[in-house]
């Protein structure tokens, strides 16, 4: 039983690796319409990659739960967890951003002739995730909040992007195949990960309303947005997470 949590952590890594494999399999179709606009048909496998990241996030939650349940916390488990998270919530989302940028640039006039250096901003995501997780492992303080956006939260947000683009939810596809929008998202998400902005830790020590108002409000906002907006809720949840954390900054100290 002592190694069960570590095996679950490795399952997180498995989902992350599968997500990378799915993401790197191309197959998009770009059609020039009579109106002069471009219609992009995204490869379905990139949606499977996004789903794999959501499974990785579920597994990432349960490995800690199992470790606490069986009192099997260990330094090995801590290191494995961060190494798995670098792949699942750093490399895999970075691969997704790379593909989104590649498709966005390919749809531009003479896009196929442009330099692959234009895809480099996608690397900010795995680099920031590695920095964030390394700093987390070195932090020996017992604060009741995170410093900077957790890598799983950043990875899940990025995973929503290809889903929104694939299903063209609320006609957002054109926005998400704009390289400048993708550059901005890469920079903002990477900055949030390496920043020291205090953000809510969703682990409950008790379940009373007074000491957990911020957590309950965030959960309510997240569930409501998921029910109403589906994959588009990633934007609302991220915004709500930061806003609620800032509004309840005193509670986090």
Render pLDDT for 99-150 as a digit per residue (tens, 0 to 9).
999 888 877 777 666 777 888 999 999 999 999 998 888 876 766 778 889 9
Instruction: Note whether 178 and 208 are same-domain residues.
Output: no
What pLDDT does 86 receive? 93
Instruction: Note whether 123 and 20 are same-domain residues.
Output: yes
Q: Which two tokens stand for residue 220?
A: 């309510």
What pLDDT does 53 receive? 94
Instruction: Please report, to the nearest 10 degrees, the dihedral formed by the alpha carbons of residues 184, 190, 195, 201 taken in order.
Output: 110
Instruction: Note whether 48 and 122 are same-domain residues.
Output: yes
Instruction: Note whether 216 and 180 are same-domain residues.
Output: no
Separation between Cα atoms, residue 180 and residue 175, nearest integer Å:
9
Instruction: Note whether 87 and 46 are same-domain residues.
Output: yes
Separation between Cα atoms, residue 154 and residue 232, nearest integer Å:
15
Instruction: Note whether 172 and 247 are same-domain residues.
Output: no
Instruction: Note whether 161 and 51 are same-domain residues.
Output: yes
What pLDDT does 14 receive? 92
Separation between Cα atoms, residue 37 and residue 35, nearest integer Å:
6
Separation between Cα atoms, residue 157 and residue 168, nearest integer Å:
16
Domain that holds residue 136: 4-196
Number of structural domains in the chain: 2
CATH number at residue 169: 1.20.120
Q: Say what the pTM is.
A: 0.85
CB atoms within 10 A of CB 27: 10
CB atoms within 10 A of CB 75: 8
Non-local CB neighbours of 33 within 8 Å, separated by 6+ positions = 39
Instruction: Note whether 211 and 186 are same-domain residues.
Output: no
Instruction: Note whether 76 and 165 are same-domain residues.
Output: yes
Q: Which two tokens stand for residue 176?
A: 């998400």
Instruction: Note whether 97 and 211 are same-domain residues.
Output: no
What pLDDT does 128 receive? 96
What pLDDT does 71 receive? 67
Instruction: Note whether 120 and 220 are same-domain residues.
Output: no
End-to-end CA distance of the chain: 35
What pLDDT does 189 receive? 96
The stretches in the chain having pLDDT less than 50 are none
Instruction: Note whether 35 and 94 are same-domain residues.
Output: yes
């Amino acid at each position: 039983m002592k190694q069960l949590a570590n095996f679950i952590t490795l399952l997180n890594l498995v989902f992350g690796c599968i997500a990378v494999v799915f993401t790197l399999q191309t197959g998009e179709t770009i059609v020039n319409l009579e109106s002069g606009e471009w219609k992009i048909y995204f490869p379905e496998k990139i949606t499977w990659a996004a789903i794999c990241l959501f499974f990785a996030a579920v597994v990432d939650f349960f490995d800690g739960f199992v470790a606490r349940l069986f009192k099997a916390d260990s330094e090995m488990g801590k290191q494995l967890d961060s190494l798995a998270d670098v792949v699942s919530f750093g490399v895999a989302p970075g691969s997704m951003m790379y593909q989104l940028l590649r498709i966005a640039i390919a749809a531009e006039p003479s896009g196929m002739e442009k330099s692959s250096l234009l895809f480099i901003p996608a690397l900010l995501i795995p680099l920031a995730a590695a920095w964030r997780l390394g700093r987390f492992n070195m932090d020996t303080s017992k604060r009741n909040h995170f410093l900077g956006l957790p890598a799983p939260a950043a990875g899940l947000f990025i995973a929503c992007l290809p889903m929104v683009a694939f299903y063209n939810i609320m006609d957002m596809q054109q926005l998400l195949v704009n390289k400048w929008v993708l550059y901005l998202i890469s920079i903002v998400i990477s900055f949030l990960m390496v920043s020291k902005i205090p953000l809510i830790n969703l682990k409950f020590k008790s379940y009373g309303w007074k000491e957990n108002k911020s957590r309950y409000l965030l959960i309510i906002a997240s569930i409501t947005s998921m029910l109403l907006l589906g994959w588009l809720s990633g934007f609302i949840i991220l915004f709500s997470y930061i806003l609620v954390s800032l509004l309840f900054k005193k509670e986090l100290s």
